[in-house]
Amino acid sequence: MLVRVLTLAGLVLASAGASAQSLSGGQWVDLTHSFNEQSVYWPTAETFKKTEVFHGHTDGGWFYAAYNFSAAEHGGTHMDSPVHFAEGANTTDQVPIGQLIGPGVVIDVAQQAAANVDYLVSVADITAFEAEHGPIPAGAIVLLNTGRAALYADRKAYMGTDERGEDAVAKLHFPGLSAEAASLLVERKISAVGIDTPSIDFGQSKTFAAHVALMTNNIPAFENVGDMSDLPATGTTIIALPMKIENGSGGPLRIVAHIPAR
């Protein structure tokens, strides 16, 4: 079993299979898109809505601000918990913290995705990464950089369509992870996988085979992850903490990366 310890006093994270990393120095990179009315949601999902309760100075003389919000579980930067595509698998509140904090691995396929909007990250991409950087360690959080995060503000460019409703699903175009590559990551015993697109499966998927391959093995997925261009291929620590929704199939996610000081 993986063992990770975060001591707040020393800000040191230790991970089985990886050297301890001090979090008191270095650089933090926020990989989370802000949630607002423009956040990307599946064409059939309820989008993010925020309404004002109060904003201003009260009769008592102090300033006070409060808002209500509502949204689908799956939208913006979020986690798909394993139960999303695997009956009986972990719900959002059941995903162990140890799967949400770990050594980061960034597989860059931006060049391939720029040439093919429907690109599928392949077994060859993973083995080429390992040939250059060494084996993906057990417990790693694998991030797939397709270069799409820069398009997030333009829903049509990012998803292939800005239309809403069931008919829009057939018009989705963005890269994803192949079923074969997902199965290889399962063999590597990774903790989680993330991607800078609306889904771990590519936009034209009809079977959601990558979801199934991962989630039947209790591996969660992070979707609509932010810009990874500042991250090295290895050597980071990823912390990805979703809203703890009881019995949830997913939830909004704050995901960050720590790059240690050199």
3-state DSSP call for residue 241? strand
Q: Which domains does the chain have, with CATH numbers?
A: 4-259 (3.50.30.50)
pLDDT at residue number 21: 66
In the predicted model, is pLDDT for residue 18 greater than 90? no
Q: What is the mean pLDDT of residues 48-59?
A: 98
| Mean local confidence (pLDDT), 58-82 | 98
For residue 1, pLDDT over 90 is answered with: no
What is the reported pLDDT for 211?
98
Residue 210, Cβ neighbours under 10 Å: how many?
Answer: 28
Residue 8 pLDDT > 60: no
User: Is the pLDDT at 22 greater than 70, yes or no?
Assistant: yes
pLDDT at 2 exceeding the cut of 60: no
Q: What are the pLDDT digits (tens) for 75-85?
A: 999 999 999 99
Range 34-50 average pLDDT: 98
In this prediction, residue 7 carries a pLDDT of: 42
Residue 11 pLDDT greater than 50, yes or no: no
**Mean pLDDT (whole number) for 108-123:** 98
One DSSP character per residue, 28-80 reads EEE--PPPSTT--B-TTSPPPEEEEEEEEE-TTS-EEEEEEEE--SSBSSEEE
